[in-house]
Amino acid sequence: MPNVRANGIDIEYDEFGNPTDPALLLIMGFTAQMIAWDEKFCQQLAGKGFRVIRFDNRDVGLSSKIEGGPEPDVAAAQAGDTSTASYTIDDMAADAAGLLDALGIDKAHIVGASMGGFIAQTFAINHADKTLSLCSIMSSTGNPDVGQPTEAAMAALMTPQPQSREEALDRAVTVSKIIGAPGFPFDEARIRERAARGYDRMFYPPGILRQMMAIATQPDRTEALGKVSAPALVIHGGADPLVSPTGGEATAKAIPGADLLIVEGMGHDLPEGAWPQIVEAIAANAGKAATR
């Protein structure tokens, strides 16, 4: 996979589709590598006429690791002391903008999932000139009063990091059973295969707390989202226990003219059975940009 220097770091990325088609940038969530955007999902988007680009966020996968900074103190950050944050969601949005610049792309359709939704929203706010359209999936506004997780979902996310490859695969299955889609088939073999690919590609626990700090220090974007003028789509699982649907509802309400798609039976994941609906919705929203 190719790698470019952008915003002062090295960013690993790859592409699907025709390079002359409009660019669509996929931004993945907390601790998730770009391969969490399934290749078949990317190919389906490319089939709609997009140059699909996925990449590793900083501190995950094969992109730069932000080492040498302060020891992250998440509890202090949640109490208002953000001094131990090595970077912010704004910095991660700047990474995405820098990637587009490095690839010679002036504007793109921006799609983000979970923490990637925080980044995508921030991208649309800070880099409006580069945003053709915005799609925020299973995410929220940064307002702590909405999108709150269930106790079980948060406990699953906060379980100790695995100490071996087998533990990593077991943990992926356990977490998926708690936060995944109850309305779609549970494919344990596929979950294990994807977790194995991620572990073998790059297992890097130190980045987890730094990304968590970036989340903990994010502002409430509600007011700023009111100034987003790009066509916007908000997608959320009706059964999401990690970011409750109120997060998606608040996001759609904050962005003028945004559409809200609640996928019934979807949790905090992208089940294959929901892909056709999601791909069609993303393509339709992107199509609105051509009429602006």
Mean pLDDT confidence for 171-190? 95
pLDDT category of residue 291 using cuts at 50, 70 and 90? low
Which of the pair, 6 or 74, is modelled with greater confidence? 6
* pTM of the model as a whole: 0.96
CATH of residue 228: 3.40.50.1820
Mean pLDDT confidence for 125-149? 97
Specify if 195 maps to a domain. no
Specify the number of domains making up the chain.
Answer: 1
pLDDT category of residue 292 using cuts at 50, 70 and 90? low
Q: What is the DSSP string of 1-40?
A: --EEEETTEEEEEEEES-TTSPEEEEE--TT--GGGS-HH
CA distance 55 to 108: 14
**What are residue 93's phi and psi, to 5 degrees?**
-65, -35
Whole-number pLDDT of residue 3: 94
CA distance 244 to 242: 6
Specify if 119 maps to a domain. yes
Specify if 250 maps to a domain. yes
pLDDT at 17 over 60: yes
Specify if 200 maps to a domain. no
Specify if 243 maps to a domain. yes
CA distance 119 to 215: 10
Specify if 133 maps to a domain. yes
Specify if 165 maps to a domain. no
Mean pLDDT confidence for 28-39? 97
Whole-number pLDDT of residue 80: 84
Mean pLDDT confidence for 167-175? 96
Whole-number pLDDT of residue 63: 98
CA distance 290 to 18: 18
DSSP state of 52: E
Specify if 209 maps to a domain. yes
Domain that holds residue 82: 3-149+205-289
Mean pLDDT confidence for 203-213? 94
Q: Where are the alpha helices (DSSP H) in the chain?
A: 39-46, 74-78, 89-102, 115-126, 151-157, 165-179, 188-201, 206-216, 222-225, 245-254, 275-289
CA distance 231 to 135: 9
